[in-house]
Amino acid sequence: MPRIVSLLPAATEIVCALGARDQLVGRSHECDYPAEVQRLPIVSRPALELVGLTQAEIDAAVTSRMRSGESLYLVDEALLRSLEPDLVLTQDLCQVCAPSGNELSRAILSLPTRPEVLYLTPRTLAEIDDNIVAVGRAIGREAEALKLVGSNRLRVEAVRAATSGRPRRRVVFLEWTDPLFCAGHWVPEMIEIAGGEDPFGRPGGDSIRIELDDVREFGPEIVVVAPCGFGLAEARRFAGELVKIPNAAISPVDANAFFARPGPRYADGIALLQRLFEEVPTV
């Protein structure tokens, strides 16, 4: 069975959901679910110290480093070598999410035996399913992966059927609040399935900055606050600091658990949105 190093939280979740937790030998600093993976050695860490910064300060620091061409992550090459992985799981979708560029390539080249590197780059829900199957195939658990994908699809279709024909809820989903960033990649699909309409969402595309005046002009009934890279406690704090959007219910959610990480829990995220949309009174 392959020894696995996962540098991507979603990949770690996939491996564990497929029953292969014992094959994981290393992780990124952000891999925290399920809880037992936090005992694994940390192979990659952020190059920036962001603790205690505001969202505006984080945005400025990350933007500055990316413009300079510097990596946002550091890979512990000595530790990676000692772990002797057969498979490394990472991504090349978002520079902010995990090591993906020169820093990982350099670390891999330093190893005496080259592991397989599987890049997970989903932009849609269907591609998340494809990634789950790809990981399953790579670790010898394709049957388990197909079962998991099938179960998630049944849950999603149940929500789609329940919301079909109902009036769409006017929604703005924020992946960042200072500055405002819209929903991107797979999240707009999740909103639509759950019964919402978000005119700012970019299905399959990158999240981009949007203007407060445009949000106010749209007049959303519900503003979902899901800051990328954060859990529910931080989302609640950022929601409390959000500039006023008239007549909108502000709903903070756990982005890490249900939206920012393209892994097995996306069906839970769709069900969560459905509940939110149903609970907020119609304006």
**For the segment 210-221, what is each residue's pLDDT rounded down to a tens digit?**
999 999 999 999
Token pair listed for 67: 């413009």
User: SS3 of 142, please?
Assistant: helix
Domain 4-121, CATH number (from 3.40.50.10420, 3.40.50.1980, 3.60.20.40, 1.10.10.10): 3.40.50.1980
Q: Which residues contact residue 167 at a Cβ distance below 8 angstroms, ignoring those fewer than 6 apart?
A: 282
167-279 CATH: 3.40.50.1980
* pLDDT digit string, tens, across residues 97-106: 445 556 677 7
Pairing of strands 73-75, 42-46: antiparallel
pLDDT in tens, 229-263: 899 999 999 999 998 999 999 999 999 999 999 99
Mean pLDDT computed over every residue of the chain: 90
Query: How many CA atoms, within 13 angstroms, populate the side-chain half-sphere of residue 180?
Result: 22
Give pTM, 2 decimals.
0.90
The rounded percent of the chain whose pLDDT value lies above 70 is 87
Give tens-digit pLDDT for 176-223.
Answer: 999 999 999 999 999 999 999 999 999 999 999 999 999 999 999 999
Q: How far is CA 260 from the centre of its chain?
A: 2
Contact 138, 118 (CB under 8 A): yes
Query: For position 94, what pLDDT does the model report?
Result: 46
> CB burial class (10 A; 0-12, 13-18, 19+) of residue 248?
buried
> Given pLDDT bands bounded at 50, 70 and 90, which one contains residue 108?
confident
Domain ranges in the chain with CATH number 3.40.50.1980: 4-121, 167-279
Look at residue 96 and tell me whether its pLDDT is greater than 50: no
CB neighbourhood size of 257 (10 A): 18
